[in-house]
Amino acid sequence: MDANSGYDRMKELKEFDESKMGVKGLSDSGITSIPRFFVHPPETLADFKKSSSTCTNIPIIDLSSIINSKDTDHRLKIVEQVKEAAKTWGFFQAINHGVPISVLDETIHAIKAFHDQPHEVKAKFYKRENEIGGVMYTSNNDLYRAKSAAWHDSLQAWMGPEPLKVADLPRICRNEVVAWDKSATEVAETVMELLCEGLGLEAGKFKELTFLDARVLVGHCYPYCPQPDLTVGITSHTDPGVITVLLQNHVPGLQVKHGDEWVNVKPVPGGLIINAGDFLQIISNGEYKSVQHRVLANSSKESRISIVIFFNLSKWKEDGYYGPLPELLSPEKPAIYRNFTTQEYIENFYGKGIDTKSLIEKIKIQN
């Protein structure tokens, strides 16, 4: 309890959580002001107002010739583009990736349909404990850990390494989630091959290291926010895993940090956003960058929908230690990160709000 104002934040958080209505429920109820626990401190809000006017978009990479031909010269050019994007932006938008637009549309439509249901229907999927495996619907994964809540709800499903029990998925998006996981994993495989080649590794190295196996699919909904200047859609963060594949509808809001600027990611029809996670930065010994990104609270009446698949670390080494790949190290290029354990990785991710320091900072070797 805040003694000065009589504001009991914990009570309000609990009431919101127990209502299981999510921010979509709040938005649909027609509220005109947001609950106080969503309001971010002035410093954060001031920073959110600073978006770049000069830079227009993250790099766009056309994968058509990779998918359809064996032209090795051209492949080298694409490898260069992917490498450059992963080194300097940590992000790019893939077009002509081989997944039909109809599949992208059906996926977005199905996730939107899930979130558009009355909250009583969604409530039976609502959970707070974030266990590895299974399906959960929640609002703000880090509701009780973060300093301020963000204006989004999410449906999350572990698609691997243990096969998901398909019947656990909400029927309204079941087939689409399964189909999307398959398509997105194919794109991820192509991208991982290009990333490997960019590091001078065998194209199949990441697949061999099981980086395609531990997948978490999250269907986010950013409903209309009546006071978008007081809160955020997602707090600034980096993704913990290897890579993330993100599909979004046409409602903007995603921003990527580039140098000192926040760049708006313009939704490109048919495009898929790919970004490097902390784990990729570490194993690539800093070659590829895991970059901060965030989402603005949605001021449009239409919900913003995004579907992300996080490709996480799975079993890799018997002793459970992870670190820069030995193949990439030499006397000229010594390891800049120490090894870490799976336990450290998981604790760092789940033990904090998403805005806290990433594992990368903790394991950097100081010299």
Count of residues touching Ni ion (by CB under 5 A): 1
Sheet holding 293-296, edge to edge: 232-237, 293-296, 254-258, 261-264
Q: How far is the CB of 3 from Ni ion (least distance, A)?
A: 36
Ranges within 205-244 binding Ni ion (CB under 5 A): 239
Residue 17 is a binding residue for Ni ion (CB under 5 A): no
Q: How far apart are CA 254 and CA 89, in angstroms?
A: 14
Q: Any idea what the Cα angle at residue 136 is, between residues 133 and 142, rounded to 5°?
A: 95
Q: How far apart are CA 45 and CA 230, in angstroms?
A: 7
Residue 355 is a binding residue for Ni ion (CB under 5 A): no
- Comparing CB distances to ligand OGA, the nearer of 187 and 254 is 254
- Comparing CB distances to ligand OGA, the nearer of 201 and 224 is 224
CA distance to 6, 39, 145, per residue, from 3 (Å): 6, 19, 21
Q: Any idea what the Cα angle at residue 350 is, between residues 214 and 328, rounded to 5°?
A: 55
- Can you tell me which of 214, 218, 245, 291 binds ligand OGA, judged by CB under 6 A? 218
**Closest to 91 measured CA to CA, from 203, 285, 246:** 246
Q: How far is the CB of 115 from Ni ion (least distance, A)?
A: 18
Quick check: helix, strand or coil at residue 147? coil
Q: Which does 136 bind (CB under 5 to 8 A by kind): ligand OGA, Ni ion, none?
A: none
- Comparing CB distances to Ni ion, the nearer of 143 and 336 is 143
Residues 267, 252 contacting (CB under 8 angstroms): yes
- Can you tell me which of 181, 197, 239, 278 binds ligand OGA, judged by CB under 6 A? 239
Ranges within 307-326 binding ligand OGA (CB under 6 A): 308
> Is 265 buried (19+), middle (13-18) or exposed (0-12) by CB count in 10 A?
buried
Residue nearest to ligand OGA (CB): 306
| Amino acid sitting at position 10 | M
Stretch that binds ligand OGA, among 59-67, 160-168, 246-254, 337-345 (CB under 6 A): 246-254
Count of residues touching ligand OGA (by CB under 6 A): 11
Q: How far apart are CA 176 and CA 163, in angstroms?
A: 16
- Can you tell me which of 20, 40, 215, 220 binds ligand OGA, judged by CB under 6 A? 220
Residues 306, 252 contacting (CB under 8 angstroms): no
- Cis bond leading into 161, ω under 30°? yes
- Comparing CB distances to ligand OGA, the nearer of 211 and 222 is 222
Residues in the chain, how many?
A: 367
- Comparing CB distances to Ni ion, the nearer of 181 and 239 is 239
- Comparing CB distances to Ni ion, the nearer of 21 and 358 is 358
Q: How far is the CB of 307 from ligand OGA (least distance, A)?
A: 8
Ranges within 151-210 binding ligand OGA (CB under 6 A): none
Ranges within 266-305 binding ligand OGA (CB under 6 A): 293, 295
Residues 177, 110 contacting (CB under 8 angstroms): yes
Q: What is residue 32's DSSP assignment?
A: S
Residue at token pair 């190295």: 205
Q: How far is the CB of 234 from ligand OGA (least distance, A)?
A: 5
- Comparing CB distances to ligand OGA, the nearer of 212 and 295 is 295
Q: How far is the CB of 246 from Ni ion (least distance, A)?
A: 8
Cα torsion through 255, 284, 188, 77, rounded to 10: 90
Residue 148 is a binding residue for ligand OGA (CB under 6 A): no
DSSP string of 262-329, one letter each residue? EEE----TT-EEEEE-HHHHHHTTTSS----EEEEPP-SSSPEEEEEEEEE--S-STT-EE-S-GGG-
Residue 142 is a binding residue for Ni ion (CB under 5 A): no
- Comparing CB distances to ligand OGA, the nearer of 248 and 303 is 248
The site for ligand OGA (CB under 6 A) is made up of 218, 220, 234, 239, 246, 248, 254, 293, 295, 306, 308
The site for Ni ion (CB under 5 A) is made up of 239
